[in-house]
Amino acid sequence: MSHEPNLGKRRGTGIPVAPSISDALKTVPAPPPGPIIDRRVVRITLLALLIGVVAALIAQILMRLIWFVTGLAFHGTFSFDHQTPLDHRLGLWVLLVPVVGGVIVGFMARYGSRAIRGHGIPEAMEQIIVNESRIPARMTFLKPLSAAVAIGTGGPFGAEGPIIATGGALGSLVGQLLRTTAMERKTLLAAGAAAGMSATFGAPVSAVLLAIELLLFEYRARSIIPVALASAAAAGIRLSFDGAGAVFAMPDLHQPTGAALSLYILVGAVLGLVSVLVTRAVYAVEDAFERLPIHWMWWPALGGLAVGLVGYFYPRTLGVGYSNISDILSGNLAIAAIASLAVWKFVSWAVSLGSGTSGGTLAPLFTIGGALGGLLGLLLESIFPGAGVDPRIAALVGMAAIFAGASRAMLASVVFAFETTLQPLGLLPLLGGCAASYLISSMLMRHTIMTEKIARRGVRVPSDYEADFLDRLFVRDIALKELVTLRASQTVGEVRQWIASHAPGSTHQGFPVLDDAGILHSVVTRRNLLDPSTPPERPLGELAKRFPVVVYDDRTLRDAADHMVRHGIGRLPVIEQQTGKLVGIITRGDLLGAHRQRLAHDSDPQRHISLRGFASPRSK
């Protein structure tokens, strides 16, 4: 602490702020306490509602396009009614149908947009992270058209992935056409994506959770409210078209016993391991296509050939295949049929997706996971006959657990399985199984099936969400209270002599300047004072070019940090909210020092001890 009374030192308690500093107080970063939602959020919410309605209508159109292409390709009919490839009479000609679809998708990707390739969600994640949520406008029609061709010609994908991608592209387009910030565009993109999933499966809550876990990278009222309302609106539109029944109907379940619950958790753990293997296999196939000596435009045609070959011997693998999931969950398939479906659906899907065609991951993963879960349930039922294992519940757990492990969207997976089956007694097994899958996947795989592709391109996707540590601490908790101040009437030369004397407090990088009445006048930096171009006889009061930028003592460190960035400064005088007095100063070093506590909380005991011994900026 300095003992230089001729330099106007104050102890930081009682220095009044003059009315002339009122302009400076207007720069305080945070608004007074009040509503956390403003008019812009209401505006974005209304836009999200509109996007949700439009995305739901697009979902209905895409499904009918898929049925139309399916009827044309496999039955030679022109109809927008529901159709599947299962009862086709093409014989060996079925081998060529997916190839033709692959050729068309390849041309659309090369001459339209390469972004239509893949399952949609990773591409949306990349645009959010690296391109401020800007998706090209042409994606709003190229993605659904390419998906309709790929799936309608037998591609082993669900319609949900392309619909999610199309809804996201629609939200992004609206955000680009209107004056929105990057954060608002991200919200609109996520609202469109959630609406797409909600309109496909009638699962609005899991759609919101999927948006939180994979797209928003945050949980705040300003983003959750628009996304939730968009998802609800899309679910309402779907009700008017498809009714309120379960998407994947299954018989009523019985309350699981404790022994059965432990075995369902084991099923989830096994499916977590499978999710890792599936993810690596898909990208191994993609890497194999990358090594082919032909242009990538032709890869979907090669993938289509594999789809046709598998479909010829096992037709259930062709097309959307939502009925397969219902049959698995209802126990309508024999053991051999379930095993064949799991194996051949995986082969067809992995090769086709790895070839770069337009398709999704949700429905194929649900089919594979449900089949494997059902088989494990039958095995456990025979090994532990008294445990009360229900193979249908095991299939439900497998369906959700494989997606939880592959995507790390654990909560979305749990709620999705409940919303699409309307079986509340499956929630406890789902929670345990998906958590076990999440654990195994996190231990064995750094990136997910959604993030591996963009991680290879150098894009880092957030995986852990936590409250901002700086937003939990107040400025008053770390601001320097022992102030060293200068007077506006002092000359630069006098202060230079004081600095040269190495007196206590003279090594600081910034100093509040007071007028002769002890009122805060400005802030000068050490660089200003030692600048050779500044005449030594010049008073300190003439160095100030603007009122000082200040912060209230009851604001958070996040407010202070953002304030420093906005104004390009490294220190802020701290003003008491109630009395308007100068009570301290906060610097960038204080903000960095505050992270010591966060590091200590996250460290092991030995590391914690070493952190406590670390010298703070004020002690040096």
DSSP for 227-294, please give it. HHHHHHHHHHHHHHHH-SS-SS--PPPPPPPHHHHHHHHHHHHHHHHHHHHHHHHHHHHHHHHHTSSS
- DSSP string computed for 302-356: HHHHHHHHHHHH-GGGSS--HHHHHHHHHT-S-HHHHHHHHHHHHHHHHHHHHTT
Is residue 3 over pLDDT 90? Answer: no
Average pLDDT rounded to a whole number, residues 28-56:
81
Q: State which amino acid sits at residue 125.
A: M
Is residue 596 over pLDDT 90? Answer: no
Identify the pLDDT of residue 11. Answer: 40
Better-predicted residue by pLDDT, 118 or 526:
526
Average pLDDT rounded to a whole number, residues 384-411:
94
Is residue 89 over pLDDT 70? Answer: yes
Residue at a domain's end among 408, 430, 456: 456
Identify the pLDDT of residue 618. Answer: 43
Distance of CA 512 to the CA centre of its chain: 43
pLDDT bin (cut points 50, 70, 90) of residue 279 is very high
Same domain for 602 and 475: yes
Identify the pLDDT of residue 58. Answer: 92
Within a domain: 594: yes
Domain span at residue 408? Answer: 258-294+307-456
Calculate the CA dihedral of residues 467, 469, 475, 476 and round it to 10 degrees. 100
List the single range of 61-75, 378-392, 485-499 with lowest mean pLDDT.
485-499
Better-predicted residue by pLDDT, 48 or 533:
48
Strand 486-487: give its sheet, edge to edge. Answer: 486-487, 510-514, 520-525
Within a domain: 384: yes
Identify the pLDDT of residue 501. Answer: 84
How many Cα atoms sit within 13 Å of 65 on the Cβ side? 20
Is residue 31 over pLDDT 80? Answer: no
Nearest-angstrom CA–CA distance, 400 and 431: 9
Within a domain: 250: no
Identify the pLDDT of residue 282. Answer: 92
Shortest CA distance to 351 belongs to which of 388, 311, 410, 294? 311
Top mean pLDDT of 14-23, 434-443, 478-487 is at: 434-443
| Cα-based distances in Å from 451 to 215, 373, 460 | 11, 25, 8
Better-predicted residue by pLDDT, 380 or 589:
380
DSSP state of 496: H
Is residue 19 over pLDDT 50? Answer: no
Same domain for 319 and 214: no
List the single range of 60-69, 507-516, 563-572, 595-604 with lowest mean pLDDT.
595-604
| Cα-based distances in Å from 176 to 101, 130, 581 | 32, 15, 45
The neighbouring-strand residues paired with 586 are 572
Same domain for 181 and 47: yes
Better-predicted residue by pLDDT, 618 or 169:
169
Q: State which amino acid sits at residue 96.
A: L
Average pLDDT rounded to a whole number, residues 65-91:
88
Nearest-angstrom CA–CA distance, 564 and 560: 6
- 510-514 and 486-487 strand pairing: parallel
Residue at a domain's end among 400, 428, 456: 456
Average pLDDT rounded to a whole number, residues 140-167:
87
The sign of the CA dihedral 227, 228, 231, 232 is: negative
Phi, psi of 356 (to 5 degrees): 90, 20
Identify the pLDDT of residue 608. Answer: 47
Integer distance in angstroms from the first to the last C-alpha of the chain?
A: 13
Average pLDDT rounded to a whole number, residues 443-470:
83
Identify the pLDDT of residue 13. Answer: 40
Same domain for 274 and 221: no
Average pLDDT rounded to a whole number, residues 218-245:
92
pLDDT in tens, 355-370: 988 877 888 999 999 9
pLDDT in tens, 52-62: 999 999 999 99
Same domain for 551 and 436: no
> b/e map of 182-201 (b: 16 or more CB within 10 Å)?
ebbbbbbbbbbbbbbbbbbb
Is the separation of the CB atoms in 409 and 441 below 8 Å?
Answer: no
Give the number of domains in the chain: 3
Identify the pLDDT of residue 620. Answer: 36
| Cα-based distances in Å from 605 to 594, 596, 600, 601, 614 | 19, 14, 8, 9, 15
Identify the pLDDT of residue 308. Answer: 93
Residues near 410 by beta carbon (within 8 Å), at least 6 away in sequence:
213, 404, 434, 435, 437, 438
Is residue 229 over pLDDT 60? Answer: yes
Identify the pLDDT of residue 547. Answer: 72
Same domain for 357 and 374: yes
Average pLDDT rounded to a whole number, residues 169-187:
92
CATH of the domain at 160: 1.10.3080.10
Same domain for 159 and 263: no
Average pLDDT rounded to a whole number, residues 489-516:
82
Is the separation of the CB atoms in 577 and 479 below 8 Å?
Answer: no
Identify the pLDDT of residue 26. Answer: 58
Tokens (6 digits) for 56: 């739901």
Identify the pLDDT of residue 272. Answer: 97
Helices (H) and strands (E) in the chain, counts: 24, 7
Same domain for 271 and 412: yes
Within a domain: 251: no
Shortest CA distance to 116 belongs to which of 149, 144, 157, 152? 144
Same domain for 569 and 538: yes
Nearest-angstrom CA–CA distance, 439 and 268: 10
Identify the pLDDT of residue 188. Answer: 95
Is residue 510 over pLDDT 80? Answer: no
Percent of the residues in the chain that have a pLDDT greater than 90, as a whole number: 45
Same domain for 345 and 207: no
Q: State which amino acid sits at residue 582.
A: L
Identify the pLDDT of residue 531. Answer: 84
- DSSP string computed for 453-471: HHHHTTPPPP------GGG
| Cα-based distances in Å from 43 to 48, 175, 610 | 9, 12, 50
Is the separation of the CB atoms in 556 and 32 below 8 Å?
Answer: no
Same domain for 279 and 414: yes
**Quick one: residue 458, left, alpha or beta (phi over 0 = left, psi -120 to 50 = alpha)?**
left
pLDDT in tens, 298-347: 999 999 999 999 999 999 999 888 889 999 999 888 999 999 999 999 99
Q: Which helix (H) or strand (E) holds 395?
A: helix 391-407
Q: State which amino acid sits at residue 305.
A: L
Within a domain: 79: yes
Identify the pLDDT of residue 602. Answer: 66
Same domain for 564 and 531: yes
Within a domain: 263: yes
Nearest-angstrom CA–CA distance, 262 and 243: 36
How many Cα atoms sit within 13 Å of 507 on the Cβ side? 8
Is residue 610 over pLDDT 50? Answer: no
Is the separation of the CB atoms in 98 and 429 below 8 Å?
Answer: no
Nearest-angstrom CA–CA distance, 48 and 42: 10
Within a domain: 597: yes
Nearest-angstrom CA–CA distance, 366 and 503: 72
Within a domain: 301: no
